[in-house]
Amino acid sequence: MTKGNSTKITDELYQYVLAHNPPLDEVQRGLVRTTWEKFPESAGMQSAEEQGPLLAFLVRLTGARHIVEVGTFTGFSALSLAQALPADGRLITCDVSQEWTAYAREAWRAAGVADRIELRIAPALETLRAMPAKPHIDMAYVDADKENQILYWEELVPRLCPGGLIVTDNTLFHGTVLDESPTGRGASVRAFNEHAMADTRMESVLLAISDGLTLSRKR
């Protein structure tokens, strides 16, 4: 089977895409720039620029009021999610790094959304397992270590409200999902993709956005 669309995303075409999406605001742009300046070797973990407006769009589309994020890094995705929440909305975001998230806290304050975000510094599985077991989450964004993706999924799905959405990043993982190696992060992502597709509690679509983005809705 051949792919239906052979458009190659050149640098010029990528800039065209960005120009035809909602622009990042001053705080978002400053955070993206600071992340690359302060953490050049890790900055690739930051969600792609076009994903900020997409995440905000999904919050508004679903009417989400209670969001959980797994993997904060320097806070770009949390900022985008929180800006789209209603004033009484709540985002809980999980990370283990005080250093990275210090820049997140600063950006959230500058954007005026710090009161909507609760940062929990601890292993994400501990944070998720401490949450109420009943369905109460409207939307989740998972962009963290790939080895634990299935475990995060299994903690999130029972806590997700009917019709709720899980957005999982890096589900193509630089194309390594096609590698035959039984170990490594590519193998972990491949295993997650199979797990998500087979889960009858959810319906999922894997999109070729940035490094792969899977949208999963609870039935």
- Domain positions in the chain are 11-218
182 has pLDDT over 90: no
pLDDT over 70, % of the chain: 97
181 has pLDDT over 90: no
Give the tokens for residue 146: 């790939």
CA-wise closest residue to 169 among 104, 28, 92, 73? 73
11-218: CATH homologous superfamily?
Vaccinia Virus protein VP39 (3.40.50.150)
**Which residue in the block uniquely carries the two structure tokens 């990275």?**
100
**Which residue in the block uniquely carries the two structure tokens 């295993």?**
191
Residue 47 sits at φ, ψ, to 5 deg, of -55, 145
Residue 202 sits at φ, ψ, to 5 deg, of -130, 160
Give the tokens for residue 2: 């051949």
Residue 135 sits at φ, ψ, to 5 deg, of -60, 125
**Residue range 197-209: average pLDDT?**
97
32 has pLDDT over 70: yes
CA distances from 216 to 10, 21, 167, 169 (A): 29, 23, 6, 11
pLDDT band at 150 (very low <50, low <70, confident <90, very high): very high
pLDDT of amino acid 5: 65
pLDDT of amino acid 66: 98
Report the run of H or E that residue 81 belongs to, with start and end. Answer: helix 76-84
pLDDT band at 1 (very low <50, low <70, confident <90, very high): low
117 has pLDDT over 80: yes
pLDDT over 90, % of the chain: 94
Using DSSP's 3-state secondary structure scheme, residue 137 falls into strand
The pTM of this model reads 0.95
7 has pLDDT over 90: no
pLDDT of amino acid 187: 95
**Residue range 58-62: average pLDDT?**
98
pLDDT of amino acid 27: 98
Q: What is the pLDDT of residues 70-83, one digit of tens each?
A: 999 999 999 999 99
Angle in degrees, CA 27, 30, 31, rounded to 5: 85
**Residue range 127-146: average pLDDT?**
98
Beta bridge partners of residue 139, listed in sequence order: 67, 165
